[in-house]
A and B are shown apart, each in its own frame.
Chain A
Amino acid sequence: MPLSDSFFGQKFGITEHDLESYLSEALSAGGEYADLYFEYLATSQLSIDESIVKSAVQGVSLGIGVRVISGERTGYAYSDDLSPEKIRKAARVAACIANGPSKVEKTGFEETRRRDLYPIVTAPSETSLAERVELVKRADHAARAADKRVFQVQASYIDSLREVLVATSDGVLSTDRQPLARLGVSVLARDTEGSGDHVAQRGYSGGGGRVALDFFETEKTPEHFAREAVRQAIVQLQALPAPAGEMAVVLGPGWPGVLLHEAVGHGLEADFNRKKVSAFSGLIGQQVASPLCTVIDDGTIRNRRGSLNVDDEGATTQENVLIEKGVLRGYLFDKLSSRLLRSKTTGSGRRESYQHIPMPRMTNTFMLAGDSDPEDIIRSTSRGLYCANFGGGQVDITSGNFVFNASESYLIEDGHITRPVRGAMLTGNGPEALKHVSMVGHDLKLDEGMGMCGKEGQSVPVGVGIPTIKIDRMTVGGTAA
Chain B
Amino acid sequence: MSTSHLVMQARGLVKRYGHVTALDGVDFELRAGEILAVIGDNGAGKSSLIKALSGATIPDEGVIELDGRPVHFRSPLDARHAGIECCYQDLAVAPAMTIAENLFLGRELRRPGLMGSVFRRLDKKRMLEISIERMNDLKVGIRSMTQAVETLSGGQRQCVAVARAAAFAEHVVILDEPTAALGVKEGNMVLELIRRVRDKGLAVILISHNMPHVFEIADRIHVARLGRRAAVLNPKKISMSDTVAVMTGAMPPESIPADCLAH
Binding partners A and B: no
Binding site for A on B (CB under 8 A): none
Binding site for B on A (CB under 8 A): none
